Structure 1
Amino acid sequence: MDKEKDAALQRLTSCLVQVQQIHSTCQTPSITFGVVHHGRAIMKHSIGHRDSGLTLSANEDTIYMLGSCTKMFTSAAVGILVDEGKLSWSDRIQQHLPEFDPLGDPKIGQEADIIDCFRHTTGLASPTMLTVGPRGTIASDPEDLIPILNAMPTRNANCEQRFNREWLYNNAAVGLMALIVERLSGQRFAEFVRERILEPLGMTGTTMTRADTENDDNIAAPCTKLSNGQFYHLPHSSWPCDDHSPLLAGMGMRSSLNDMLTWCIAVMDAERSEIEPGYVRIIPNNPLKQMTRVRRGYWTRPADDPDFSKPAAYGMGWFRIDLPSSQLSSFSANALSQGREHQYHLQNILGNENAPSPLTAVGHTGGMRGSVFSVYTFPETQSAVVTATNGRDFGDASDFTAQILIQALFDLKPVVDLLPWAKKEAELAAGFYREHIEAPWERNRWPNDPERDRLIYVGDYRGFNDRFTLTIAVANSPSTAPSLSVVFNHRSASECPLIFYQTDVYSFLQPDEDYARTQAIIAKDYKQMLLRFKVDEAGKVTGLWWQWDIEAEAAWLKRVPT
């Protein structure tokens, strides 16, 4: 065993040069990474800095945003309650949250269960822009989550119901699990996870609340890179969002490399104890339960190369895949180079020569503003690869680093050079804003259209079961003509200036890439940043249409009488 560990460590050490190249190519402040093998951490390393000024080095205790890797802890919390007999995996959501009743499809309220929420098959559109506004502002209250979800579209573009027919990622639906944990345990979600999971495992570097980091400055600042070559520290004062348990459960936690390596060891230890009779746990008082159920595959994710790869399967905060497979990187932020036009993931499949002996990987990726966190576990060898980065403008360095480490750890053949793929992703990412956002925004803008008196638009516009408001206000401006701004759900920190786009249409997208990056509006298409006002024959504004989700019909927000 020691010989194998030494050989693995030698291979891992030899690939540090490649990780350094990824760090340079993806232009991220830092990459922190580590490896577990046969139940023990054998490597920990950091490259770069945790701050935007590049003065403070990152290390294995630096705290990064977990993003969607938070869901691992949420499903573990539910697993503990299932093991105690307080609920069942097949419980319908309405049994515990009777107010959950989506209007678009009665079957969702009647039949959707806990597994449906975790595996993203409720069919509900994700209210991303209604929960996280500009600058990372939390744009809704926890008590508004269910009414907003009840108002979500449930049909696809062909007008077919999606419930248990399509896979549609939805952080808010997973957030319902936090409300269930709170109702059954009588504790705040953050308190339950801390007391039942983090403290027993000694995970002191994992944060659930803002108070957890008050006396700790070893925090990776989520960053974006500006056109002048400098890094900009993206505001993240809203995270962790301990006052919004559903968002916390879906994507709001933070953790360090040391803690996440401990987490991986504990997860695989608990899982193995449920499978192997007589197995002696590495962690005697391991609090984790139901890990074999949590990490099982529940929804197939078809491979792009069906003739070669086996399909991946999504579980509850984890996805499973057998290597070799093109699906290894399917949840990463390296999406541009994996599109139909390029498909670099099909050209860079790890371990083709190892195909007769498939290797099961169970993991997840968590992407947030200016950060990515990746976790991969390998139950057969009790191994894990954990990577984190605090920048993502020019590709997902976390994903590329994880693939390099996985290839070295298991000595996969033939050796794949991932640097050309990383360079392609960086190239595509560098041109994405201009090509896919700003250019079409400019092509469809009619700045010479007649413009009405801007003051007629000022007021509140409410929709989504009356739980979300856009406020059009007069912005402070040095010009003589009044300028408009939009505020998301009364959160003053979310205020964005509006630009005249067409007659009765205003945009909160600014034609400036640095502005877009620093404001970090979560949108895939410029149309999501247009507000189309409806003016009646009397010249009064009655409401506005907002294409908040590019895959859903525009939502109507009615003007609130003053």
Structure 2
Amino acid sequence: MRKSTIVLVSLLLLFHPGAHARDAGDAPAPIAGLDAHVEAVRKRFDVPGIAVAVVKDGEVVLVRGYGVRETGKPEPVDGDTLFAIASITKGFTSAALSILADEGKLSLDDRVIDHLPWFRMADAYVTREMRVRDLLVHRSGLGLGAGDLLFWPPTQYATREVVERLAHVPISGGFRERYAYDNVLYAVAQLVIEEVSGQAYADFVQQRLFAPVGMHASRINSDALRPSDRNVASGHARPGFEGAPVPVPRMAWANNSAAGGIYSSARDMAQWMRVQLAGGVLSGEGDSATRLFSEKRQREMWSLVTPITIRPPAVPELAAATPQFYGYGEAWSVSDYRGRKLVWHTGGWPGMVSRLTLVPELGLGVVVLTSQEVGAAFNAVTMQVLDAYVGAPPTDWIAAYAAAVEKARGGADDDWQKHLAARDATSKPSLPLRGYAATYRDPWYGDVVVAEGRKGLEMRFSKTPQLAGTLEHWQHDTFIVRWHDRALNADAFVDFSLDHDGKVREVRMEAVSPLTDFSFDFHDLRLVPVAGK
């Protein structure tokens, strides 16, 4: 899940001459001005392409594309352009488990070890008591994003290897004690689905969810995109959090598809929202209705399980968006806006962030898919649509979210200045560079290699090709790793601790910038030298 406030306003985005809304048809009266609003959002937050769909009372009332699929190229975004929806995928994983529960093949109250006897967490009690529902609701005791480096950026581990390594991922809180967002337990859910159904996760979702819902263009992971799938958006990021957004390579979570692997379009997501708002009904009414999942399972998916602390708004301009209640259900966030319940989820991916929001009381759904790492954009569009249908007084959501972005960036700048002030730039490493070169091993991630290169020390994560970079001396026995892929925006401090004989005892890491995505969970690593390597 990517951070949603990584953005600066730039004047460098070049709009394609035909960047107006695509997909013919007038917008319904409440959102008649939405096209202009979305274009203003694109301009303010430098988003090359946005796709939007709105559902109301069982009808798809708007499907539109804005901008271009990739900056510098003319191909336009439309309602059929595929985007990585990232963690919005989690709702599909929850629905898959619900289908299996309706069929009596499992219960959400089953213990995970009932289906995966080999499953282990770092605590024996948690292993024994972990239920299938616990895989979905972010209350396991794992820290924020713990274990994500097992698949983010893409690794060479298989799904079962990812889950087996959970036995060594540190638990930082009490079981069911508090909310802490994780992705890794969805890999466990994926294996439960596969074990119970006898199908690969991708096949199950394609056949049991996409096909009946009518999501014919959607795919599981970018590696499932076909040669005929040419209408695909490119993600964009700002290397070093600066400058104009640039295209980034596609990424696939083949070893944790259930957490965030789906590619979909605004048009397909509109069909998903219709089924959700219909309570799982695909067609028909009453006892003769054809259902995707039962009404009982829908209620449980949308019921708050894990409370989330409500914090003051980042800036006063966002006070109106502050909920009265907030929590997480079975793969859905649950909160309220102006007295109405919201069921929603965001998704973050390298270069793409999105949001899907349902207002069940109003029969309203809106999905916003974007091709830049700036959650302010999808929020500004979403809130404009919500206000139109709840009859809220006008709010300048673009200005409000821009203020939040600027505050976040200012906080990151202040944090960096504190590091600079504390640095002893005249200090030298305790050891010659070859003294730091070794293979280091973490119990859950595996091996990380530090070696001498032509320009100094280099670091390479053995199972993660993208995590390769150069170590720059910071002070004393601390270095900063500068990843060769600058669009990762994940440079990290690397602290070498020496023993009494002057040899490296342990290596710890921590992201340099508070804007770095939490999935780069370097701080959970405990790297020690491997004898003989």
TM-score surpassing 0.5? yes
- What is the one-letter code of the residue matched to 2:131? D
Cα separation, 2, equivalents of 1:216 and 1:476: 42
Matches within 5 A, 1:480-559: 483-509=456-482, 518-521=487-490, 529-547=492-510, 555-559=525-529
Q: Give 2:437's aligned amino acid.
A: V
- Give the match's secondary structure for 2:205: helix
Match of 1:32 in 2: 51
Assess if the C-alpha contact under 8 Å between 2:304 and 2:327 holds in 1: yes
Following the alignment from structure 1 to structure 2, what is the Cα–Cα distance between the partners of residues 321 and 558?
43
- 1:278 aligns with one of 275, 279, 286: 286
Deviations 1:128-151 (A, max 9, x none): 552355xx3336442332343222
Count of equivalent residues:
488
Contact persistence 2:387–2:393 (CA under 8 A): no
1:95 CA displacement = 1.6
Contact residue 147 and residue 464 of structure 1 kept, 8 A: no
Summarize deviations over 1:57-107 as a string: whole Å, max 9, x none.
11111111111100011001111111111110101122222333323x432
TM-score by length of 2: 0.83
Counterpart residue type for residue 129 of structure 2: E
Structure 1 residue 292 corresponds to structure 2 residue 299: yes
* Equivalent of 1:144 in 135, 143, 161: 161
Please give the alpha-carbon distance, in whole angstroms, between the structure 2 residues aligned to 1:494 and 1:300.
35
The residue number in structure 2 matching 1:158 is none
Partner-residue secondary structure (3-state), 1:498: strand
Q: Distance in 1 between matches of 2:249 and 2:69?
A: 14
* Corresponding residue number in structure 2 for 1:422: 401
1:63 to 71, 82, 86: 82
Counterpart residue identity of residue 497, structure 2 = K
| Aligned equivalents of 2:479, 2:242: Cα separation in 1 | 29
- Which string of whole-angstrom CA distances, capped at 9 and with x for unpartnered residues, describes residues 409-457 of structure 1? x142222221320331342355455333x43443343342222221222
3-state DSSP class of the match of 1:493?
Answer: coil
Q: CA deviation at 1:223?
A: 0.2
Contact 1:469 1:489 (8 Å CA) reproduced? yes
Is the Cα contact below 8 Å between 2:189 and 2:258 reproduced in 1? Answer: yes
SS in 1 for 2:367: strand
Q: CA RMSD in A?
A: 3.0
- Structure 2: unaligned runs, 5 residues or longer: 1-24, 313-318, 512-517
Matching residue of 1:448: 426
* Letter aligned with residue 271 of structure 2: T
Residues 71, 317 of structure 1: 8 Å contact kept:
yes
- After TM superposition, the score normalised by the length of structure 1 is 0.79
Number of the residue aligned with 1:180: 192
Do residues 401 (structure 1) and 413 (structure 2) align?
no
Matched with 2:174 is 162
Cα distance in 1 for residues equivalent to 2:401 and 2:280? 34
> Mind listing any 5+ residue stretches in structure 1 that lack a counterpart?
1-5, 156-160, 325-357, 478-482
Which residues of 2 match residues 214-229 of structure 1 at below 5 A? 214-225=227-238, 229=243
Distance 1:34 1:100 in 2: 40
**Equivalent residue letter for 1:360:** K
- Classify 1:273/1:67 alpha carbon distance in 2 versus 1 (closer, same or farther; 3 Å): closer
SS of aligned partner of 1:391? coil
Counterpart of 1:211 in structure 2 is 224
* Equivalent residue for 2:262, pick from 231, 253, 263: 253
Q: How far apart are 1:7 and its partner, in Å?
A: 11
Amino acid at match of 1:384: G
1:316 pairs, out of 330, 333, 358, with 330
Query: 1:162-221: CA deviations, max 9, x gaps?
Result: 211111111111221001111112221111111211122231221114133443221111
Determine helix, strand or coil for the equivalent of 2:496: strand
TM superposition shift of 1:535: 3.3
Which of these residues, 205, 209, 212, is aligned with residue 197 of structure 1?
209
Partners in 2 of 1:506 and 1:77 — Cα distance? 45
Q: CA deviation at 1:253?
A: 1.5
- Could you tell me whether the CA contact under 8 Å between 1:22 and 1:422 is conserved in 2? no
Q: Look up the match of 1:353.
A: none
- Corresponding residue number in structure 1 for 2:91: 72
Structure 2 letter corresponding to 1:287: L
2:91 counterpart SS class:
helix
Query: Shift of residue 516 of structure 1?
Result: 8.1
